[in-house]
Structure 1
């Protein structure tokens, strides 16, 4: 437990507001002026949310870097008083929508991949809910219609217009939901789910959502929402699940849902982002500053990592394999202890271990890995459904046999700088590198890493009205545009203690053999053990027993 000063200084009114924002961002009842944000369980993602809350509450600019360097309300209050935070708050009203709605940078990137990939089932996101108890089909149908009516992005088509691809937002009547009810015999569920995950979307002519309600047994069903990533990100799935529960409760009583607030819409967010970035041709604009940062950061970066082993033979059809990952509470605790010791987040430790494992297996000493930053640094995005994440390239140099402290410091510097320049569109990064556009979908930066923190289920999340029990299910993708994608999820006890880590190492069957993926999974685990050593230890750091420390 963090040691507290015996007589902490009295907090200022602003420090008390900051403490309230700390608590709200971490779902805690309260926080004190000397509470360390990361010791309370904060991470990079919740730091982004906290920065947005502070901007909304105080109208003052706060960055993720500020929170790492001043992680308590009192310290952040002093930093704000010293005027060391750059930038300015953006509290201007949303601009009016133009007659033609262009795609956001994230939409354009995913639209291009969808078009050039001939609508492959890549970049699919799923919300899968196991339902146990009495089911009312008509209620589900009306509830899902309510969801589509509430969020414009679920009924948006992206055709190619006279000036390029554009957004066409359909009315609810023009965009009937693709919903099917399927009765399955025993043993048919897996094939039915895989069939849905193997079907892509044509974003030029159709909406990006389909729903399937699969009956798997007496009073047992699986609700499967398949959504193209162009319309959602990970945060969006939580918003959709909460809105779906609200609509279901109302429709079960024969009423239309009464929403507490109007939903923020993605088209308005995209316009606000474009206004904030400014014109890249203006050297003083944020867009130009971001472009200069990424040009310098990625100068001479290798376009593609060399993976060990012979490449698989056969055509690249986008199919993916996966290596399941499961680490126990002890390893989870050691990961967090390492993060505390190295003054970074657990994700930074994971990323350092991943880069080190790749380098160890022959990928070189300059390791670029794609990281998806949330982009939700504004309270207005809390209830927003849409693709707000923006990929950035985190370049980690592993030369010189760095200690764990040195390697995580390199990751920390790179990730904090990436957060400060995360608005720069990923597609513009690729254009600046001036590589062959035809090779861009597979030839540049084909290794990615993500770390998601899952919250323990609350009764209101799992116990729905009408005696229905709802349990979320994680489905790994069946297709990928990446050579390698590391996905790790953080699990907690109801008290917030580390409960273990689960995930997958997803690999392209056309570019990475299952044997190579297994070797990388083993190397990743070994590197995490090494980083659990003391600050002065490197490859010789202490290791856990072969059982994984469970």
Structure 2
């Protein structure tokens, strides 16, 4: 059976030597150099107090829920655009932030599962990577046009998802600050994997909210799609974590 050590060796072999211009690692790093050239160092959001010199990471959460009707509309728009529900929600977040004064170039961080092979589906281990998804809101596009822009940019990014985010920060070397996260300060995650039940002999277990009082970023939209037993959209819910 495949083990996590096998995955790590495979990843090193896949990326190869960055000094070799023909390697996957080198080509993906070069892609990100181009893709993230002149990225905003910091999104100008309408905070009600100044950013501290050193982030405290103190945070809170505002709960958010969209009903089944809205969920159906999101999926309908996604289908019409050849996109995903995630891409529609990303376009919505980018449009919102732009309207709030964050400009026309909106970088959003997002986790990717990293389980690109069926052999990894049931394997215990950390495969997640973080991508910087850049959204161009310039030129007053319609929302459908914005979804199309997001789709094109995201597909490019998904094709270069193997370079670890930490390595990307090292290579791109953005201006560092103890007060903000590098390359992006707003994150978006949508869980669409089926929810599994924890079954243990003699115990009944259910998942519940576990507020941490912490925030990794300025804003983090953490959402999950739910479906009925017959696969019909049942709503999108979650929360917006924010730095207090």
2:177 is equivalent to residue 442 of structure 1: no
Change in Cα spacing, 1:353 to 1:438, as seen in structure 2 (3 Å) is closer
Q: Deviations over 1:210-265 (max 9, x none)?
A: xxxxxxxxxxxxxxxxxxxxxxxxxxxxxxxxxxxxxxxxxxxxxxxxxxxx5x43
Partner of 2:20 in structure 1? 282
Partner of 2:44 in structure 1? 306
Q: Deviations over 1:19-67 (max 9, x none)?
A: xxxxxxxxxxxxxxxxxxxxxxxxxxxxxxxxxxxxxxxxxxxxxxxxx
Provide the C-alpha distance between the structure 2 equivalents of 1:351 and 1:313, rounded to a whole number of angstroms.
Answer: 25
Provide the C-alpha distance between the structure 1 equivalents of 2:41 and 2:125, rounded to a whole number of angstroms.
Answer: 29
Answer yes or no: is the 8 Å Cα contact 2:109–2:186 preserved in 1: yes
2:117 is equivalent to residue 382 of structure 1: no
Partner of 2:10 in structure 1? 272
Provide the C-alpha distance between the structure 2 equivalents of 1:300 and 1:453, rounded to a whole number of angstroms.
Answer: 32
| Structure with more relative contact order (C-alpha pairs < 8 Å, separation 6 or more) | 2
Change in Cα spacing, 1:313 to 1:293, as seen in structure 2 (3 Å) is closer
Provide the C-alpha distance between the structure 2 equivalents of 1:346 and 1:326, rounded to a whole number of angstroms.
Answer: 15
Provide the C-alpha distance between the structure 1 equivalents of 2:63 and 2:138, rounded to a whole number of angstroms.
Answer: 30
Partner of 1:500 in structure 2? 235
Provide the C-alpha distance between the structure 2 equivalents of 1:477 and 1:393, rounded to a whole number of angstroms.
Answer: 25
Q: Deviations over 1:287-325 (max 9, x none)?
A: 111011101101111022111133357773211111100
Provide the C-alpha distance between the structure 1 equivalents of 2:14 and 2:122, rounded to a whole number of angstroms.
Answer: 20
2:222 is equivalent to residue 483 of structure 1: no
Question: How many angstroms does 1:456 deviate by?
Answer: 6.2
Map 1:384-403 onto structure 2 (within 5 A): 384-403=123-142
Answer yes or no: is the 8 Å Cα contact 1:482–1:507 preserved in 2: yes
Answer yes or no: is the 8 Å Cα contact 1:455–1:492 preserved in 2: no
Which structure's CA Rg is the greater one? 1
SS in 1 for 2:71: helix
The counterpart of 2:31, out of the listed 276, 285, 293, is 293
Map 1:106-255 onto structure 2 (within 5 A): none
Structure number having the greater helix percentage = 1
Provide the C-alpha distance between the structure 2 equivalents of 1:456 and 1:435, rounded to a whole number of angstroms.
Answer: 37
SS in 2 for 1:337: helix
Answer yes or no: is the 8 Å Cα contact 2:41–2:174 preserved in 1: no
Partner of 1:359 in structure 2? 98
Question: How many angstroms does 1:440 deviate by?
Answer: 8.6
Q: Deviations over 1:334-368 (max 9, x none)?
A: 11111112111111000000000000000000000
SS in 2 for 1:471: coil
Answer yes or no: is the 8 Å Cα contact 2:55–2:179 preserved in 1: no
The counterpart of 1:318, out of the listed 42, 47, 57, is 57
SS in 2 for 1:408: helix
Change in Cα spacing, 1:423 to 1:443, as seen in structure 2 (3 Å) is closer
Answer yes or no: is the 8 Å Cα contact 2:41–2:175 preserved in 1: no
2:67 is equivalent to residue 332 of structure 1: no
SS in 2 for 1:469: coil
Answer yes or no: is the 8 Å Cα contact 1:456–1:493 preserved in 2: no
Give ranges in structure 2 of 5+ residues lacking alignment: none
- Paired residues in the alignment total 243
Provide the C-alpha distance between the structure 2 equivalents of 1:392 and 1:336, rounded to a whole number of angstroms.
Answer: 23
Provide the C-alpha distance between the structure 1 equivalents of 2:213 and 2:230, rounded to a whole number of angstroms.
Answer: 34
Partner of 1:370 in structure 2? 109
Answer yes or no: is the 8 Å Cα contact 1:454–1:492 preserved in 2: no
Moved over 6 A (4+): none
